[in-house]
Amino acid sequence: MANFNFNKVILGGRLTADPELKTTPSGVSVTSFTVAVNRRFVSREGGETQADFINVTAWRTTAEFVTRYFRKASSICIVGSIQTRTWTDQQGQKRFATEVVADEAYFVDAKSESPMAVQQAAGMYGSPAGQANQAPMQGGYMPDNYGYGNPVQSPAYTSAPKFEEITDDEELPF
C-alpha cells in the first residue's frame, strides 16, 4: 500500500486584527494573526452564519508581506499547512496548539474595497479645506503604485532599433 501523506490548507477569510511584525533573536521575521472564516451553513436558532477563527503564523518574506499590506478586516487568502505544537505549561498541564503555517498570502479584495483604501478615502472627506489634494502616503495599497513603495514608472520609449536588411537567404545565421 502506498504511503499517502498530504498537508495542504487553503483559507479565505478576514483578519481579526492588524498583524504585527516581530523578529526572532536570530533576525527572522514572523507574524501571527487570526483569520475569521465563515462556515457554509447557517444556524437554525438565529439564522446567523457561524465563523471559525483560525490561528495563522507566517515567516520571513510572507510575514513581511502580510504585515505591510493587510489590516484588520482585510480579506486574505492563505495557502499553507497545519502544524500542531505540544508543550507543558507552568501548572504541569500538557497543552496543544493547532495553527496554519502560511507559505503564501494573496489579496482577495479589489483595491477600492480594501479596509486601507476605504480608510484613506474616508480621511479625504474629513480633511480641512485645502488638504484633500495632498499627495497620498508612499507604500501601502494605493492604485498608483500597486502596493509597492515606488510609483509605477512608464517605460521610456525610444525609436525602433535599426536593423540592416538581409536580401540573401544564405546570410541568415540559421
Average pLDDT in the chain: 76
List, for residues 55-87, the tens digit of each pLDDT value. 999 999 999 999 999 999 999 999 999 999 999
Which pLDDT score, from 0 to 100, does residue 53 have?
97
CA-to-CA distance for 72 and 118, rounded, in angstroms?
Answer: 12
Element spanning 13, H or E = strand 9-15
Which CATH number does 9-125 carry? 2.40.50.140
- Which residues sit opposite 68 in a β-bridge? none
Largest CA distance in the chain: 89
pTM of the complete model: 0.61
Backbone angles phi, psi at 114, to 5 degrees: -70, 145
Which pLDDT score, from 0 to 100, does residue 82 have?
97
Domain boundaries, the chain: 9-125
Pairwise pLDDT comparison (11 vs 163), residue with the higher score: 11
